[in-house]
């Protein structure tokens, strides 16, 4: 097996940890700002996303200590656009999730053929994050519209 670039992997894992922790704060914040008829299901969906981000942050932290290293205690950038309609929240979520997905993809590239555990972890996370992005994309389509709001990158 080729050698793993441990510094690069650690850098990516720490950025992932920070991005996922920012997700916890972001989704929790959004969940306070939903009003109107559909408030209850949307608030509960946002809180589920916050909980999922926390699980993802914990998984990234566990990978860091598995490598015998110290996890970052910072959180990723938070953007408050002060746009609180559900469409704006979803678009903002799609953008920030795309950045996290990019980090997981980079981690997968770094680990491919070099570390089974990190490769497997990164692959599962790319799958989970892509599925999540597709769910948000479907929520951004108008009822009756089939084509993707933002078509996914299918290859790579
Ligand atoms: Fe995530």
Predicted confidence at residue 25, as pLDDT, reads: 95
- Distance CA(118)–CA(154), nearest Å, equals 22
- From ligand 1's centre to the CA of 54, what distance in Å? 8
What pLDDT sits at residue 122?
98
pLDDT tens, position by position, 2-24:
899 999 999 999 999 999 999 99
State both tokens at 107. Answer: 């981690």
- The CA angle 41-45-46, to the nearest 5 degrees, is 120
Distance 88 CA to ligand 1 centre (A): 19
Residues of the chain where predicted confidence (pLDDT) is lower than 70: 1, 153-156
What tokens were used for 151? 């078509």
The alpha carbon of 19 and the centre of ligand 1 are apart by a number of angstroms equal to 8
How much is the pLDDT for 71? Answer: 97
Q: Which residues surround ligand 1, an ion (CB under 5 A)?
A: 56
Q: In this structure, is the dihedral angle defined by the CA atoms of residues 44, 47, 49 and 55, taken in order, positive or negative?
A: negative
**Is the separation of the CB atoms in 122 and 104 below 8 Å?**
yes
| pLDDT score, position 155 | 53
Ligand 1 midpoint to CA 40 (Å): 23
Q: Please tell me the distance from the alpha carbon of residue 20 to that of residue 76, in angstroms, as a whole number.
A: 8
75 Cα–ligand 1 center, Å: 14
């Amino acid at each position: 097996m080729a050698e793993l670039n441990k510094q690069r992997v650690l850098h990516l894992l720490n950025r992932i940890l920070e991005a996922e922790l920012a997700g916890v704060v972001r989704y929790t914040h959004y969940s306070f700002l939903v009003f109107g008829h559909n408030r209850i299901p949307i608030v509960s969906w946002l809180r589920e996303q916050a909980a999922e981000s926390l699980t993802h942050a914990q998984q990234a932290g566990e990978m860091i200590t598995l490598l015998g290293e110290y996890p970052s205690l910072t959180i990723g950038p938070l953007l408050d656009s002060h746009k609180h309609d559900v469409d704006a929240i979803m678009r903002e979520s799609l953008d920030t999730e795309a950045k996290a997905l990019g980090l997981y993809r980079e981690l997968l590239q770094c680990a491919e053929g070099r570390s089974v555990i990190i490769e497997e972890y990164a692959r599962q996370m790319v799958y989970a994050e892509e599925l999540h992005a597709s769910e948000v994309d479907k929520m951004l389509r108008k009822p009756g519209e089939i084509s993707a709001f933002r078509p996914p990158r299918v290859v790579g």
